[in-house]
């Protein structure tokens, strides 16, 4: 049996992993590769894992952090991402903290103290911390279980988002030779993978290259024309859903955001030219579902852990496939269907080249031009989008039809393009295979330019042979010939077209060539996987509103309470008891305790208003189990929320404690606390001292007032576990009832 560094008896090692998965994270089974990565970390082996966004990589280091002795140090690139990750971990009951430049000396000192006394399971830090000798000394004196490096591609100059700060992470294996290191990234070619392993200094790591296929994402490319109106039309079919729109320039970001706001869509801008406080405020509003859309340059993204992004629009051509893949990967992190739409126009190519030409390093320009050609190929070739994307990362998609892109699910037909291919290749051949696509298209369409006349190419046989078609059509023919290997592009920075052996046969009439012709219409994404099955949309809206109310009280993004995927499952299964709620994916013990009763009650009220709804048998049986713990009233005994609050109020007036009320009424303490919060907001009179001891309440009040914010997690952390989450909730409600915010 494998020997893990666990805080449990060896005979229970393997069962502990499964038990933690269910009780902490609320899942019955692992996603692909998660379990093998976790076991490798527990065996104290280095790990390198390429996992797509939404593939569950955070669980790969959060779960072993719970089971191993000491603190897991997670290197994360952006401050905003750290806070969201800590909030999410704390929501699952995992003691966590972060340390970054936004904190004052007292806050940093408090984190160091908790680290010294082994009070933190997960510590999130920025990579530049490893340039600070004092920080290294503090880590040396603490008990460190392992290091997890997120966004590991940032260490590679071959990657699309190189960050010099990441180079300092090579110190980790040298300074901590006995501590395992796990590096994670969502985007890495084989070349980048080897570079990461070498630069960090991973020691014979367990290597995982998960599939890059995001089955829940629908990929579509549309011809670009009056793009802001096209975006507006798309948003009309995605009302109420969160999404990201990427633009190339800051000016375009502002113009699009202003345009959408003028059409009553709550859209906020994000780019590096905005003041830091504006960027932070806009990102927070998006995370909290207060803004439907964020319009951004590529400066926005790595700090986003928002799971319910339902669409990503690229209104301009991305600079490279890695960036496009990572940016689209921010959609559908919860595994639910999401739409990735790219508007492509050839007018975007010179704009990208402008940035490339500004590069001073010739090698960088060469790499950037090659990546641009790959991106143009993806957008212009009528070949399965998924197959193209996976092929870029060295993965072969096995099926002929993915069912999840515009090519595979749209209306296409096979057409013979042999004659037009011969016209194009004849022009290439007669000009000596020395020119690029734009020049050849000018010749074929009979364009009168000084360059063509100077070189005498207006006199060749194929000059004007295709003037009955526009340039857009001939570009599409050239793209198809490139996609099928009939032509190749060679040279840098301005590639020329060469005819391959396959092309020679077509040119001289010994072979034919066909192409898929795509109709330009708005195709609807297919729902391909089991998780995309029907759910009750009216109940979903009610639960989403409840989730937002709870999130506002706790000052966290709504997706941290429950993901859309969890809400969708509730809207399919209609859990009417806490034990039934426990069976919903994503509901661990901590979330069941804090939120379960509220969501069950909302579901019961909905069922009472809609008696025609048929509840699935397995969950109906759970609801009928009279021995179920903490059952809300059902059937004829079902009470409205206002009535159950009144019962709590009567018991409080009678001098009963919260624990006794919970036991007597068969409710969770969290539900009783929510009743108390409601009563305080209404200004109801009862003895608060019997609920929270006066001395303790005074300390909590002083903390909230000095901090000038009402976050529960900071309060509980500040008092090092000597106050409960419920005591902080009640005290905050008391303060807010006196000073509404």
Residue 375 inside a domain? The answer is yes
What is the phi/psi pair of residue 399, to 5°?
-95, 155
Q: Note whether 455 and 344 are same-domain residues.
A: no
Mean pLDDT of 585-589: 91
6-38 burial string, b = 16+ CB within 10 Å, else e? beeeeeebeebbeebbebbbbbeebbebbbebb
Identify the residue with better confidence: 176 or 165.
Answer: 176
Identify the residue with better confidence: 394 or 236.
Answer: 236
- Token readout for 472 is 């857009």
Please report where in the chains the tokens 């999840």 appear, as a residue. 404
- Give the pLDDT band of residue 622 (cuts 50, 70, 90): very low
| Structural domain total, the chain | 4
Residue 22 inside a domain? The answer is yes
Reference 209, options 395, 454, 348; nearest CA is 395
Residue 526 inside a domain? The answer is no
Question: Where a domain ends, among 490, 518, 546?
Answer: 518
Q: Calculate what percentage of the chain has a pLDDT beyond 90.
A: 40
The Cα 321–Cα 630 span in angstroms is: 51
What confidence score (pLDDT) does residue 295 get?
A: 96
- Structural contact between residues 61 and 51, judged by C-beta atoms closer than 8 angstroms: no
Task: Give the pairing type, strands 96-99 and 496-499.
Answer: unpaired
Please report where in the chains the tokens 């989730």 appear, as a residue. 547
Residue 85 inside a domain? The answer is yes
Residue 727 inside a domain? The answer is no
The string of pLDDT tens digits covering residues 182-229 is 999 887 778 888 989 999 999 999 999 988 899 999 999 998 888 999
The Cα-based distances of 683 to 130, 702, 709 in angstroms read 51, 21, 22
What confidence score (pLDDT) does residue 113 get?
A: 92
Q: For CA atoms 89, 92, 94, 96, give the dihedral sign.
A: positive
The Cα 566–Cα 192 span in angstroms is: 35
Q: Note whether 538 and 508 are same-domain residues.
A: no
Q: Note whether 465 and 419 are same-domain residues.
A: yes
- Structural contact between residues 713 and 555, judged by C-beta atoms closer than 8 angstroms: no
Q: Note whether 224 and 197 are same-domain residues.
A: no
CATH number, domain of 555, equals 1.10.150.80
Q: Is the pLDDT confidence value at 528 over 80?
A: no
Q: Note whether 487 and 601 are same-domain residues.
A: no
The string of pLDDT tens digits covering residues 100-118 is 887 888 889 999 999 999 9
Please report where in the chains the tokens 């709590």 appear, as a residue. 648
Residue 331 inside a domain? The answer is yes
Domain that holds residue 417: 413-518
- Give the pLDDT band of residue 160 (cuts 50, 70, 90): low
Question: Where a domain ends, among 191, 209, 227?
Answer: 209
Mean pLDDT of 693-703: 88
285-323 burial string, b = 16+ CB within 10 Å, else e? ebbbbebbbbbbbbebbbbbbbbbbbbbbbbbbbbbbbb
Mean pLDDT of 278-305: 83
The Cα 475–Cα 413 span in angstroms is: 19
Q: Note whether 121 and 194 are same-domain residues.
A: yes
The Cα 542–Cα 544 span in angstroms is: 5
- Give the pLDDT band of residue 708 (cuts 50, 70, 90): low
CATH number, domain of 230, equals 3.40.50.300
Most confident of 127-131, 186-190, 286-290: 286-290
Q: Note whether 499 and 552 are same-domain residues.
A: no
First to last CA, the chain: 56
> Which burial class, exposed, middle or buried, applies to 137 when counting CB atoms under 10 A from its CB (0-12, 13-18, 19+)?
exposed
Q: Look at residue 179 and give its three-state secondary structure.
A: coil
Identify the residue with better confidence: 659 or 389.
Answer: 389
Task: Compute the mean pLDDT over every residue in the chain, rounded to the nearest whole number.
Answer: 84
Q: Is the pLDDT confidence value at 522 over 60?
A: no
The Cα 497–Cα 437 span in angstroms is: 7
What confidence score (pLDDT) does residue 499 get?
A: 94
Mean pLDDT of 667-694: 82
Worst-scoring range by mean pLDDT, 61-75, 225-239, 639-653, 720-734?
639-653
The string of pLDDT tens digits covering residues 39-91 is 999 999 999 999 887 778 899 999 999 999 999 999 987 776 788 888 889 98
Q: Note whether 27 and 170 are same-domain residues.
A: yes
């Amino acid at each position: 049996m494998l020997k893990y560094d666990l805080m449990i008896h060896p005979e229970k090692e393997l069962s502990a992993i499964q038990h933690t998965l269910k009780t902490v994270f609320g899942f019955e089974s692992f996603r692909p590769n998660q379990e093998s990565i976790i076991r490798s970390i527990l065996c104290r082996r280095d790990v390198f894992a390429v996992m797509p966004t939404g593939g569950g990589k955070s669980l790969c280091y959060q779960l072993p952090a719970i089971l191993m002795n000491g603190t897991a140090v997670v290197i994360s690139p952006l401050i905003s991402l750290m806070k969201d990750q800590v909030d999410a971990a704390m929501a699952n009951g995992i003691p966590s903290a972060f340390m970054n430049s936004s904190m004052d000396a007292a806050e940093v000192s408090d984190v160091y103290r908790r680290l010294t006394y082994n009070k933190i399971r997960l510590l999130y830090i920025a990579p530049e911390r490893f340039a600070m000798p004092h920080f290294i000394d503090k880590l040396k004196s603490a008990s460190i279980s392992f290091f997890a490096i997120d966004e590991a591609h940032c260490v590679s100059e071959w990657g699309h988002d190189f960050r010099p700060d990441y180079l300092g992470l090579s110190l980790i294996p040298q300074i901590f030779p006995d501590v395992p290191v796990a590096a994670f990234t969502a985007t890495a070619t084989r070349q980048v993978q080897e570079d990461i392993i070498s630069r960090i200094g991973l020691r014979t790591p367990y290597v995982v290259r998960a599939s890059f296929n995001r089955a829940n994402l629908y990929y579509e490319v549309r011809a670009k024309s009056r793009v802001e109106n096209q975006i507006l039309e798309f948003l009309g079919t995605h009302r109420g859903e969160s999404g990201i729109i990427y633009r190339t320039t800051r000016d375009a970001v502002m113009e699009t955001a202003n345009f959408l706001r003028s059409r009553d869509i709550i859209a906020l801008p994000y780019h590096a030219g905005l003041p830091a406080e504006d960027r932070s405020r806009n990102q927070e509003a998006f995370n909290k579902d207060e803004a439907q859309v964020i319009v951004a340059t590529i400066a926005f993204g790595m700090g986003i852990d928002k799971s319910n992004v339902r669409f990503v629009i690229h209104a301009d051509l991305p600079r490279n496939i890695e960036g496009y893949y990572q940016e689209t990967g921010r959609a559908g992190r919860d595994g639910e269907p999401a739409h990735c739409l790219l508007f492509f126009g050839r007018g975007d190519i010179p704009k990208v080249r402008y940035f490339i030409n500004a590069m001073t390093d010739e090698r960088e320009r060469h790499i950037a031009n090659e990546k641009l050609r790959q991106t143009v190929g993806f957008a212009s070739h009528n070949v399965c989008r998924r197959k193209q994307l996976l092929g870029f990362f060295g993965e072969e998609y096995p099926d002929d039809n993915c069912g999840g892109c515009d090519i595979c699910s749209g209306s296409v037909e096979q057409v013979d393009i042999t004659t037009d291919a011969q016209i194009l290749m004849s022009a290439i051949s007669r000009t000596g295979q020395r020119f690029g696509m734009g020049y050849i298209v000018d010749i074929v369409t009979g364009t009168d330019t000084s360059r063509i006349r100077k070189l005498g190419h207006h006199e060749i046989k194929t000059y004007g042979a295709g003037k009955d078609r526009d340039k857009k059509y001939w570009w599409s023919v050239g793209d198809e010939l490139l996609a099928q290997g009939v032509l190749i592009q060679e040279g840098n920075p301005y590639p020329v077209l060469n005819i391959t052996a396959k092309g020679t046969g077509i040119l001289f009439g010994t072979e034919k060539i066909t192409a898929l012709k795509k109709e330009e219409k708005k195709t609807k994404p297919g729902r391909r996987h089991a998780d995309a099955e029907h759910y009750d949309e009216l109940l979903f809206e009610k639960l989403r509103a409840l989730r937002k109310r709870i999130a506002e009280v706790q000052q966290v993004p709504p997706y941290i309470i429950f993901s859309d995927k969890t809400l969708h499952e509730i809207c399919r299964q209609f859990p009417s008891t806490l034990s039934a709620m426990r069976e919903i994916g994503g509901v661990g013990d901590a979330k069941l305790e804090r939120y379960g009763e509220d969501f069950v009650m909302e579901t019961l009220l909905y069922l009472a208003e809609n008696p025609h709804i048929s509840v699935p048998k397995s969950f109906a049986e759970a609801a009928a189990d009279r021995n179920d713990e903490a059952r809300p009233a059902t059937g004829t005994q079902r009470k409205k929320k206002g009535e159950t609050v009144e019962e709590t109020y009567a018991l409080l007036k009678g001098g009963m404690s919260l624990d006794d009320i919970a036991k007597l009424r068969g409710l969770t303490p969290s539900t009783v606390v929510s009743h108390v919060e409601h009563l305080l907001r209404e200004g109801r009179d009862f003895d608060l001292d019997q609920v929270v001891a006066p001395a303790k309440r005074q300390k909590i009040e002083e903390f909230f007032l000095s901090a000038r914010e009402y976050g529960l997690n900071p309060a509980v952390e500040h008092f090092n576990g000597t106050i409960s989450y419920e005591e902080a909730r009640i005290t905050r409600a008391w303060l807010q009832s006196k000073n509404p915010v």
